[in-house]
Chains A and B, each alone.
Chain A
């Protein structure tokens, strides 16, 4: 089967009976955390436990878009750091992550939306992130395929143009970080399912897996969309999360037509052209929690209608592949990062919704520092679970698109 051969990041090792740190989930947040634990803190006795294979979940299912145009002062610096890290990681890992900062164009379809964009841009500029408001004509100059006429369902008034954003090859990040972490001694155990966490006197003592018990004092659950269910199942901790299936698809390959990431809240759709020429597009989330990761005819139709309105040159183009992934949404559209709070030695990094990919590099770095020093870095403090009890929800729901089954 798949895993008989030698993995690309090194030799397969046997699961030991104890590690300094165990990371549950073989996605980008775990891989990045492991990489920085080893690189910046010298902690190499680390095991990543993955039920399927690394990059099986959100890491391999997202549409590779990166940007730092979020709404609030807490989120923007984190995403900016992540954006700045792509070229650095490409060098450090000696692995081409294919970062293409082609720029993001968020289309606005009303004057109210233009005003919301002005606020977003003000936040971005305050934090030193390049972002401008442009009108429909300027948008058309950047992306000639856009339909800026007034006879479509949602005529384009203008756009928020965020030049430093773009696309990163998501699989390359998985492979690069896995190689980089493994080289420093991190063990990656695929086909290994975590089934429980043992505690004693309020402290983590072990992680139970289907391949045996691993003694450890520190464990991180960063298993993407599966985190909330695992955290509740293992420790009885409930989270303000709803897990929704989010869909994506690509068209047949075309000649170059789109050299920016274009997104629209009103049309509920984003699109960019991959290096292979396909138009990668998506955005729809099922409006009820489910773990199916399956597509719906409802959405494929919607997607075709939306694309053929604002990018009319795509009329008649066929979808070639469709897929779904999980988005673990919180009520304030901001993630939850916490540790040593509910149980000593237990850390969590979840609630990333559909923006876990964009943030993984910076978050891995800060989570590693959190775990290595047992001190929460200032940048992560506002993301603690306690904020919901204290009614200090983040204002990220004021961003340009927002989804939750609770609204």
Chain B
């Protein structure tokens, strides 16, 4: 299904201009006290939500910004907030 993404600079554009940047996982863990578990969790692990998730996008064929949006993974539609449902 088609996808449009709203870039904070360029506005609503065709999704194929963008590169998906992964689920929002909070800040990169501090190197002090870093364990293989916490690093693996940050690098690899996903929640794979079937519903609204916060995620990163990169406007590859556009202005080059990195930003997050909320999107419903079951419909590909952007949402204003994490709670927004049909």
Q: A interface vs B, CB < 8 Å? A: 226, 228-229, 232, 238-243, 245, 286-292, 294-298, 328, 331, 388-391, 405-406
Contact = CB atoms under 8 A, between A and B. Distances in A.
Given A388-B40, A405-B22, A406-B22, A288 B45 contact: no
B63 interface: no
Interface of B: 1-3, 15-16, 19-20, 22, 36-37, 40-41, 44-50, 55, 73-76
B19 A291 contact: no
Contact of B73 (A287, A289, A294, A296): A289
A406 B44 CA distance: 9
Contacts of A240: 40, 44-46
Contact of A238 (B36, B46, B73, B75): B46
Contacts of A226: 50
Q: Is the interface of A mostly helix, strand, loop or mixed?
A: loop
Contact of B20 (A229, A238, A289, A331): A289
Contact of B36 (A291, A294, A390, A406): A390
B76 A290 contact: yes
B42 to A, nearest CB: 10
Contacts of B74: 290-292
Given A240-B44, A288-B15, A406-B22, A294 B50 contact: no
B46 A228 contact: yes
B44 A291 contact: no
Nearest to A297: B2
B48 to A, nearest CB: 4
Given A240-B44, A405-B22, A229 B49 contact: yes
Of all A-B residue pairs in the complex, the 8 with the closest CB atoms, nearest first, are A240-B44, A238-B45, A294-B1, A228-B48, A288-B20, A389-B40, A292-B1, A229-B50
A24 to B, nearest CB: 15
Contacts of A243: 48, 50, 73
Contacts of A298: 2, 16
Nearest to B35: A389
A295 B1 CA distance: 6
B46 A291 contact: no
B1 A296 contact: yes
Given A228-B46, A296-B2, A389-B37, 6 more contacts: A240-B45, A289-B48, A290-B73, A292-B74, A292-B75, A389-B36
Nearest to A390: B36
B29 to A, nearest CB: 14
B40 A242 contact: no
A335 B7 CA distance: 34
A406 B19 CA distance: 9
Contacts of A238: 41, 45-47
B45 to A, nearest CB: 4
B37 A241 contact: no
Contacts of B41: 238
A240 B19 CA distance: 19
A99 B39 CA distance: 44
B51 to A, nearest CB: 9
Given A226-B50, A390-B36, A288 B44 contact: no
A226 B50 CA distance: 8
A402 to B, nearest CB: 16
Nearest to B57: A288
A228 B36 CA distance: 21
A288 B19 CA distance: 8
26 contacts: A229-B48, A229-B50, A232-B47, A232-B48, A238-B41, A240-B44, A241-B46, A242-B46, A243-B50, A243-B73, A289-B46, A289-B73, A290-B3, A290-B74, A291-B73, A292-B74, A292-B75, A297-B2, A298-B16, A328-B48, A331-B44, A388-B40, A388-B44, A389-B36, A405-B20, A405-B22
